[in-house]
């Protein structure tokens, strides 16, 4: 078993045990969609585990990553999702940003988006990486939350 598989297996066991002690009946599976690794929780009690605006899910992910990094300091950050909540949220956010991008296409005026963490900024930058009209820009400061600006790409002519 390589270290990556060992890390996922350890995290899966910890998560299953932790939620079991809290009285939740869950099925934890490896999530192959997220680069670096992730875990996906399936349960009938998803709403209670996700919490308001995903805050409890964030806490669960934070705890799992803290525990994993105690044993594997160089491990990549794991993503935890519950009943595809994060995936649906990410898709909805990208759809909303594409609507803003359509306004930039029509008017030519830049639009500054809301403050986002690095994960969400990466999603947005990647969503427009191949776009021939829209480019994304965010400041290079050390702030944890930054605002991406959607702008028209400069033409080469």
* Cβ 79 vs Cβ 38: under 8 Å: yes
**pLDDT score of 157:** 46
Do 7 and 70 reside in the same domain of the chain?
A: yes
Do 107 and 67 reside in the same domain of the chain?
A: no
* Cβ 5 vs Cβ 72: under 8 Å: no
**pLDDT score of 132:** 93
Domain annotation covers residue 157:
no
Do 75 and 140 reside in the same domain of the chain?
A: no
- Tell me whether strands 79-82 and 38-42 are parallel, antiparallel or unpaired: parallel
Domain annotation covers residue 17:
yes
Do 78 and 117 reside in the same domain of the chain?
A: no
What is the domain extent for residue 61? 3-83
Do 44 and 94 reside in the same domain of the chain?
A: no
The closest alpha carbon to 58, from 89, 28, 36, 32, belongs to 89
Q: In order along the chain (157 residues), what is the average pLDDT of each group of 10 residues?
A: 85 95 95 81 97 94 95 91 94 96 96 92 94 93 91 76
Q: What is the CATH number of the domain that holds 58?
A: 3.30.300.20
């Amino acid at each position: 078993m390589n270290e990556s598989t060992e890390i996922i297996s350890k995290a899966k066991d910890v998560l299953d045990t932790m939620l079991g002690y809290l009285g939740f009946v869950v099925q934890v599976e490896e999530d192959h969609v997220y680069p670096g690794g992730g875990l996906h929780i399936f349960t009938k009690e998803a709403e209670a585990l996700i919490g308001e605006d995903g805050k409890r899910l964030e806490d669960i992910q934070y705890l799992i990553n803290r525990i994993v990094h105690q044993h594997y300091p160089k491990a990549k950050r794991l993503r935890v999702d519950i009943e595809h909540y994060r995936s649906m949220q990410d898709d909805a956010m990208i759809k909303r940003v594409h609507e803003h991008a359509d306004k930039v296409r029509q008017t030519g005026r830049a639009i500054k988006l809301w403050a986002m963490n690095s994960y969400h900024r990466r999603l947005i930058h990647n969503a427009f990486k191949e776009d021939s009209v829209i480019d994304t820009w965010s400041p290079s400061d050390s702030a944890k939350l930054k605002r991406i600006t959607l702008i028209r790409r400069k033409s080469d002519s």
